Amino acid sequence: MQFEIRIDPERLNRHIRELAQVGTLPEGGISRLALTDADKAGRDLFVSWLEELSLEVRIDQVGNIIGFQPGRGDARPVLIGSHLDTVRAAGPLDGALGVLAGLEILQTLQEQGIHTQRTVAVVTFTNEEGARFTTDMMGSRAFCGELSVEEAWDVSDFEGACVGDELRRIGYAGDFPCGQVKPSAYLELHIEQGPILDKEQVTIGAVEAITGISWQELTITGAANHAGTTPLDARRDAGLAAAKVIQYLRELAKGLPDQRATCGRLSFLPDVINVIPGEATLTVDLRNGDDTVLKKAEQQLAEYLASLVEQENVEISSRMLARVSPSRCDPSVVALIEESARGLGLAHRRMVSGAGHDAQIVARTCPTAMIFIPSKDGISHSLAEYSRPEDIEAGANVLLHTALRLADEGMG
């Protein structure tokens, strides 16, 4: 009987479509990099939807937006959320799905007159992506006390603008204290962003663990010189050294179990066709679900860089941008997700997330798990990102029923 309650799929998909109009690029795709004007516009739309429901809305000191649907008792709330910021040229679902599904759950509870024991709240965390300010999962780190508010405000983007100033500029430097909300449990619905569910035609992934992530920026210094006249053995070519690092990352990934290694940004100075690059700056993204292996990857990269300094007669400095250990989801919440999927007649399987999520930060403070739905061809962080409306609906219904159980049964 309990499984008869359902979200409104038309409304959820309409909200997704409307938000997807915010930050569209002329060449296609969406760009709502954290704390830009487009991010502000997306936030404003979300807040207007929270206000239409007369929810209590709080904006905290790092710009996390939380809407509360009060429960019958004063026990700690069940929190549902994700993020509204995007990478550059993103699709419509990464992050937005989890936030808008949370909104949909609150609207469903209101419409159906369901009064849960616990408060149910929806959150959008600031700067999950780390695409502009390279401390990823920034809002959830501050929410959980892993990052102080001042540390968050001080982080700068590549042009030198800092989080504190940008929060004030867009009107989202709230005064609600970070750390005031202590959820009893956290749930995040997300697209898988990988190929497994789509390939296996399984609708629901119950996420058991989330990858560890290590981000660093390398600066390679050689010597700018003439491209035509400088003999090969006299070159200190920072560009060549950067290319060797990128090549090495693939070897590193191949040599360790389930290792990922990516260079996503690269720039040269002076960046001119007939000049040997005197400086190269590049980013390295290393990921593994096993922290011991991730540490080994960091170590092997450091050893390779030391050898490259000799080989290419360059200097290399490294700056750590972000580091998060792998997280395990709470087994009892994972089991509740599976029960909800079963109750709704949906095919499901357990899985590990290779993408980073706010859930991996929140998991360290309260019972947490994630629900995945299929991503067509496993594509995301791309304008080709797509999930079928019926899978979106299924995921949101699993989220609803898991939240209902958590809000009424209590988990401490």
* Footprint of ligand GLV (CB under 6 A): 129, 136, 355-356
**Beta-bridge partners for 122:** 67, 80
Q: Does 212 bind Mn ion (CB under 5 A)?
A: no
State in angstroms the smallest separation of the CB of 225 from ligand GLV: 37
Q: Which is nearer to Mn ion, 300 or 380 (CB)?
A: 380
Q: Which is nearer to ligand GLV, 91 or 356 (CB)?
A: 356
Burial class (CB in 10 A: 0-12, 13-18, 19+), 290: middle
* DSSP labels, 34-99: TTSHHHHHHHHHHHHHHHHTT-EEEEBTT--EEEEE--SS-SPPEEEEEE----TTB-S-TTHHHH
> Judged by CB under 5 A, which stretch of 16-24, 90-98, 141-149, 342-350 contacts Mn ion?
90-98
Q: Does 192 bind Mn ion (CB under 5 A)?
A: no
Query: Cα–Cα distance between 321 and 311 in angstroms, integer?
Result: 26
Q: Which is nearer to ligand GLV, 94 or 237 (CB)?
A: 94
Q: What angle do CA 335, 339, 344 make, to 5 degrees?
A: 150
Cβ contacts of residue 12 below 8 Å, gap of 6+? 100, 101, 104, 392, 393, 396
Q: Which is nearer to Mn ion, 95 or 174 (CB)?
A: 95
- Residue 2 phi/psi, 5-degree rounding, is -55, -35
User: Are 78 and 122 a contacting pair, CB within 8 Å?
Assistant: no
State in angstroms the smallest separation of the CB of 263 from ligand GLV: 14
Query: Cα–Cα distance between 143 and 126 in angstroms, integer?
Result: 10
> Judged by CB under 5 A, which stretch of 59-67, 93-101, 102-110, 211-219 contacts Mn ion?
93-101
State in angstroms the smallest separation of the CB of 129 from ligand GLV: 6
Q: Does 356 bind Mn ion (CB under 5 A)?
A: no
Query: Cα–Cα distance between 34 and 16 in angstroms, integer?
Result: 18
Contact partner, 60, from Mn ion, ligand GLV, none, Cβ < 5-8 Å per class: none
Contact partner, 356, from Mn ion, ligand GLV, none, Cβ < 5-8 Å per class: ligand GLV
Q: What angle do CA 141, 147, 149 make, to 5 degrees?
A: 105
Q: Which is nearer to ligand GLV, 106 or 210 (CB)?
A: 210
Q: In the set 42, 71, 77, 95, which binds Mn ion (CB under 5 A)?
A: 95
Q: Does 94 bind Mn ion (CB under 5 A)?
A: yes
Contact partner, 395, from ligand GLV, Mn ion, none, Cβ < 5-8 Å per class: none
Helical pair 96-111 and 389-409, crossing angle rounded to 10 deg: 60
Q: Which is nearer to ligand GLV, 39 or 136 (CB)?
A: 136
Nearest Cα neighbor of 291 from 251, 323, 334 is 323
State in angstroms the smallest separation of the CB of 356 from ligand GLV: 4
Contact partner, 338, from ligand GLV, Mn ion, none, Cβ < 5-8 Å per class: none
State in angstroms the smallest separation of the CB of 87 from Mn ion: 6
Query: Cα–Cα distance between 131 and 151 in angstroms, integer?
Result: 17
Query: Which residues would be at the binding site for Mn ion (CB under 5 A)?
Result: 94-95
